[in-house]
Structure 1
Amino acid sequence: MDESARPAGPDAPVADAVLESRPATVAALPVGTRITGEVIGRQSFGVFIRINGVPNAIAPAEITSMPQGMDLPAPGAVISGEVFRHADNHQVSVRLGEWRVVDE
């Protein structure tokens, strides 16, 4: 996957579902909303999050929005953050807060 690509695989919603649910996603996640979700993809620029309670939303969180001094969370980590914009590519942009590894 290149840096402009969205995550793919069994944990990621299909592109058509993301597009079709866009109005509901924007309504459910206005700017300023606190979110929690699981990291489902990792790139050099940040991570992709599957947001709890909004099944067809994909949220990229960029390195520039990470808490200072923390490493990029790994796939499977549960993270929290805040919605700071709705991008034209149908993604929900998130500033990261804290995260923890999911106990299995």
Structure 2
Amino acid sequence: MNEYSWPVDGERLAERASARWTITVTALPEGSTVTGHVIGRQPFGVFVEIAGVPDVVGLAEITAMPHGVPLPLVGTVVRGTVIGHTPHNHQIRLRLVDQD
């Protein structure tokens, strides 16, 4: 298995995230604490499916992870804080604070 991966069904997930963007931004304002699991990994960070909010794509860039902590594997449960919204690709920016 390749150490890096895109989320399964990534294109459809992106379409659904786009359709729900307004609802997502309202449900997850900056400062919100979230839990989810890693659904994809890239050298720059991880994609996270956020629990309790359907069709959301969270992105935790490597610069927004705890110092010295390795990039979490797909399936790892992570916790973090919403640090922003990126409307051009309908992603929630996350700062990870913990992982199981």
For Structure 1 versus Structure 2, the TM-score category normalised by the shorter chain is 0.7 to 0.9
Deviations 1:66-96 (A, max 9, x none): 1112111000000000001110211000001
Q: How many residues align?
A: 94
What are structure 2's unaligned runs of at least 5 residues? 1-5
TM-score where L is the length of structure 2: 0.87
Higher helix share: 2
Identical positions, percent:
44
**2:46 is the counterpart of 1:41:** no
Counterpart CA distance in 2 for 1:57 and 1:10 is 13
Cα shift at 1:14: 2.3
What are structure 1's unaligned runs of at least 5 residues? 1-6
Counterpart CA distance in 2 for 1:16 and 1:33 is 23
Note closer, same or farther for the CA distance 1:87–1:23 as it changes in structure 2 (3 Å cut).
Answer: same
Q: RMSD of aligned C-alpha atoms?
A: 1.6
Q: Which residue of 2 aligns with 1:19?
A: 18
Q: Which residue of 2 aligns with 1:4?
A: none
Q: Indicate if the aligned counterparts of 1:18 and 1:57 stay in contact, CA closer than 8 A.
A: yes
Q: Indicate if the aligned counterparts of 1:11 and 1:40 stay in contact, CA closer than 8 A.
A: no
